[in-house]
Structure 1
C-alpha cells in the first residue's frame, strides 16, 4: 500500500509542471504576473506553448501583466479564461521600432493571435490596457507611425470572444485581418486622452472594431468611446452582422475606406442594427457612412499612405442595411462619399460601385445650422443606385422643428429613394 501511494504521488507530480510563473496542471496553464513592471511576455509565451493546443489558459482576476515586448502566438482548440489585465508598456521607442508591421495604412501591431477554434472570455473583468495616454499626450493629435494595435486577429477561424475590454488603445482596438466565423459579444472599448483640452481630438485612429478579409463575423452588445470609427468595415468583408452598439464620440459606423490600394476592395452583406450615436467632446462626426477612394493614383502626404500615391482601387459595396439608429448630435446623418484622397481634380472618379444600401429608422438630431442632414455623393463612373432612405427623420439642430433634407450627386436616375432633396 505504501508503494502504491508513492507511485500515485509521483504521477501527480508529473501531471503538474512549473516553468517560471506558469503552472501547468493537466494541460491547464495558470499564469502568475511577475510584478514590478517586469516583462510578462516570456511567461505568456510559455503558457501559450504549453497549453495553446487543446488546453486552457488562465489569467486570474487578481493578476496584472506587463507587456513590454511584442507577441504573436498561434493557438488551436484553446480556451482562455482572461480575468486579469494586460498593460502595454509606455516605452514608445521600443514599440515604434519593434511592433509588427501591418501593410494596410502603414500601421503596426503589438499583439497578434492566429489559429483555429479559440475562445476568450473576460468575465467582465479581463482585458487589455494599451497605455494609450502615453501616445496621446506625446503626439497631441498628430498620429505618428509605430503605434501598436493591442488586439489583432490574423489568419483565424472559429473564434468566440465574450465580456472583454480594450482601454486606451494606441491605435485600433480590435482588428480582424483574415478571419472566418468569429463571434464577439459584450465588448467595451474606450480611448480617452486625459490631458487633451476639451474639444481637441487626441484619440484619432483609435477605431473600436475593424474587419478586413473577414467572413461571417458577428458583433453584439458593443460600447465604444473614442475619436474615430466606432466600427469600420474594411476591404473584403462579407456577411458581417452587428447589433446593439453604442458609439460615444468619433465617426460612427463606417464602411471603408475602400479603394485606397490597387486591389479589389469589395464588401457585401452587411447588417448594422440598433445603434445609439452620442456626441462627446464636440467630436461626433458621422452616424453611418460609406467612404471610398477616387479612381486615380493621387499623391498623398499622410503616414497612412506611406507618403506615396494611393487610390484607383475597384470593387463593389452591395447589400448593406443600417437600421434603428438613435442619433444624438452627430455632425451628419447617413451619408455616402466616394472622394477620399481627392486633391480637387478627381471628384466622381471612384471605381467602386455602390448599390442596394438601405438606411432605415434613423431618429434624432444632427449638429448643423444647415437644412441638409444627409449627403449622397457617389461616382460618375459607377453612379450608385437602389439607395433607400426609409423613415430617416433627423432634425438640423437639437431644437429644430422641421426635419432636415438631403443632397445627391453622381447618382443613377431614380437611384436614391426616400431622401427629400434628391
Structure 2
C-alpha cells in the first residue's frame, strides 16, 4: 500500500511537470535557433517562428528572449492569435540594424492583437546614430502598436531609436508603465511616446529623455492619461501637432498630472498648424507639474510652423477649449513663461490658469518673466506668477 502511494505521488508530480513544461506555455527563441551569435536575418526568422508557435497556442503563453545580446532585423508580430494572453518577456538586449533607415516603418511592430504584454527588464537598442545624421522625418519607430486592443508595455529600457521610441496607433486600452526611454538631446524626431488615433491609453511611472517630445498626443486621441513621468531633456509634453493633414479627428479628455519636466525646450505645450482644416481639441488638463530650468513652461502655439512648411498668413482652424493648467510650479529660463497664442479665426475659450507659480531661473535676469496672450478667453485663479494676461 505504501509503495502504491509513492508510485501515485510520483505519477502525479510527473503529470504536473509534463503539463507545465510540455503544454507549450513558454516559447524560448533560442529553441527556435535564435542566438547571440546569429545574424540579423537568422534571428529574425527564429523570433518569428517562436511567435507563430505561441500565437497558435490556445491559452496563455509567453515568448522568452533570454539574457544575452541578439541582433535582429525588423519584426512584425501579427495577429490574430488564438484566445489567451500573450506575453513577450525580453530578458536580454535586442539590437537593431544600424544601417536600416526606411521611412514610415517600424523595427518591432505588434499588429492586430488582443491582450498582449511586453515586459522583462531587457533593453531595446535602436542604433539610431546613423539615421539621425540624415535628418529625415518619419524614421523607423522602435516599438509600434498598430490596432492593438488591451496591450501593456512594462519594465523595459528603450534607447537610441531612429525615430519615435514608442508609437501607439489605432489602439485601445493600452498601459505603458515603468519604462526608461533615452536618446541624446540633439537626436532629431526621437519622441519618447507618440499616440494617435487611440483611446484609453495610460502612461505612468516613466523616465524619458530624448531629442524631441517626451510624450506627444496626436489627432484622434481620446481618454489619455500621462502621470508620474520624469521628462528631460527633450521638448516637453505636447498635445499635437494638430491640423497638419486633412480631415484629422478630434482630441479630447487628456490628463497630464504629477509629472516633472527638467531642462527641456518647452514645458506643457499645445501646438496646431496654420491653415489647417477644422477640428477640435478640448477637455485637456495639466495638473500638479514641477518644472525645472524649462524654456517656455506653458505654451499654446496655434502658429506652429517648423521649417516654413505652411502659410503663416492662414489662421489655424483647430478649435481649442476647456483647457486647464493647474498647480504648475518651477523655474523658467526664458522671459516668456506663459504664452497663449491662439487662432484669430477660432479663438481659444474657457482656458483656466489655476495656481501658477513660475519664477525666473536666474535672479540676475534683466527682465522678469511674463505672460503673453492673443485671441484667448479664460480665467485666472489663485496664485499667478507671472501676472496673467487672460481676458474674461
Write out per-residue CA displacement over residues 91-135 of structure 1, whole angstroms, 9 at most, x where no aligned residue: x2xx23xx4x6xxxxx3322210211111222xx22311112333
Change (3 A) 1:63 1:74: farther
Q: Which residue of 2 aligns with 1:411?
A: 376
Change (3 A) 1:399 1:61: farther
Task: Quote the offset at 1:55 in angstroms.
Answer: 4.2
In 2: Cα distance, 1:255 partner to 1:80 partner: 30
In 2: Cα distance, 1:273 partner to 1:400 partner: 31
Please point out which of 148, 153, 159 is paired with 1:161: 153
Please point out which of 133, 144, 149 is paired with 1:152: 144
In 1: Cα distance, 2:119 partner to 2:36 partner: 23
Which secondary structure does the structure 2 equivalent of 1:58 belong to?
A: strand
**Structure 2: which 5+ residue stretches go unaligned?**
1-10, 382-386
In 2: Cα distance, 1:226 partner to 1:27 partner: 37
Change (3 A) 1:43 1:237: same
Task: Quote the offset at 1:221 in angstroms.
Answer: 0.1
Task: Quote the offset at 1:331 in angstroms.
Answer: 0.9
Write out per-residue CA displacement over residues 201-228 of structure 1, whole angstroms, 9 at most, x where no aligned residue: 5312110011101110111101101110
Q: Which residue of 2 aligns with 1:288?
A: 268
Which secondary structure does the structure 1 equivalent of 2:188 belong to?
A: coil
Is 1:383 aligned to 2:391, yes or no?
A: no
Q: Which residue of 2 aligns with 1:247?
A: 231
In 1: Cα distance, 2:166 partner to 2:239 partner: 16
- Is residue 224–residue 248 contact of structure 1 (8 Å, CA) maintained in 2? yes
Task: Quote the offset at 1:70 in angstroms.
Answer: 4.2
Residues 19-30 of structure 1: pairs in structure 2 closer than 5 A: 26-30=24-28
In 1: Cα distance, 2:225 partner to 2:138 partner: 31
Q: Which residue of 2 aligns with 1:129?
A: 125
In 1: Cα distance, 2:165 partner to 2:155 partner: 15
Change (3 A) 1:70 1:61: closer
Residues 9-408 of structure 1: pairs in structure 2 closer than 5 A: 26-32=24-30, 33-39=34-40, 40-53=43-56, 54-74=59-79, 76=81, 77=84, 78-90=86-98, 92=99, 95-96=100-101, 99=102, 107-114=104-111, 115-122=113-120, 125-136=121-132, 139=133, 142-144=134-136, 147-192=139-184, 202-279=186-263, 284-295=264-275, 312-341=276-305, 343=308, 346-347=312-313, 349-368=315-334, 370=335, 372-399=336-363, 404-408=369-373
Q: Which residue of 2 aligns with 1:306?
A: none
In 2: Cα distance, 1:221 partner to 1:259 partner: 30
How many residues align? The count is 356
In 1: Cα distance, 2:44 partner to 2:139 partner: 18
Change (3 A) 1:146 1:390: closer
**Structure 1: which 5+ residue stretches go unaligned?**
1-7, 17-22, 102-106, 193-200, 296-311
- Is residue 225–residue 250 contact of structure 1 (8 Å, CA) maintained in 2? yes
In 2: Cα distance, 1:69 partner to 1:161 partner: 19
Which secondary structure does the structure 2 equivalent of 1:111 belong to?
A: strand
